[in-house]
Amino acid sequence: MQQTSSPAFRELHRLITGIYERLLGAITALNKESLRLLFTGSFAAFWKAIDGTFLLTVLAGIGLSIVSLSRIIPSLLAEHPIVVWSFFSGLILISGIIILRDIQSWKIGTFLALLAGIGIALLISAIPPGEGNENLFFLFGAGASPSAP
């Protein structure tokens, strides 16, 4: 199968999937074996086993983003809503395209799952906004649901 994508798109794909795979590997490494290293005092071995430097860098980046963008995004949404929503929609769209391109064999179940996902996304987007809910379980669920595998 011939690659028709641009070199920039292929590099973006490598970057995103490489980071994602490394993150999954680091999270998966948090298991009984690595925790045993931690609790037996082998902190350096534990840190290496879970790719601690990478995880710390990711968590620091997330924290920095939250702190730095939490004041900027609301004003950008108020002054330039179309640009901001277009940016985030583009991120979601390109992520979906990258994931779809990685599917090796399309089966009926894969296609039905894709249609179900698109349908659920459309239904959710059509729900009118309601009052804010500050219950911590609701907020956690709302933040976790888009990232569920």
Task: Give me the pLDDT at residue 89, please.
Answer: 87
pLDDT value for 145: 54
3-38 tens-digit pLDDT: 556 676 666 666 666 788 888 889 999 999 999 999
DSSP-derived letter for residue 104 is -
- How many CB atoms are located within 10 Å of the residue 34 CB? 19
Q: Which residue has the tokens 């990232």?
A: 147
CA distances from 36 to 46, 54, 56, 82 (A): 8, 20, 20, 50
The pLDDT assigned to 47 comes to 95
Tell me the C-alpha distance between 6 and 47, whole Å: 38
pLDDT, position 149: 47
Helix, strand, coil distribution of the chain in percent, nearest 5: 75, 0, 25
pLDDT tens over the chain, length 149 residues: 445 566 766 666 666 667 888 888 899 999 999 999 999 999 999 999 999 999 999 999 989 988 888 889 889 989 999 999 899 888 888 888 877 887 888 899 989 999 998 898 888 777 777 666 667 777 666 666 555 44
Nearest to 89 by CA among 133, 128, 121, 58: 121
- Only one residue has tokens 């920039």, namely 8
Any residues with CB less than 8 A from the CB of 26 and at least 6 apart, and which?
Answer: 50, 51, 52, 54, 55
pLDDT at 29: 92
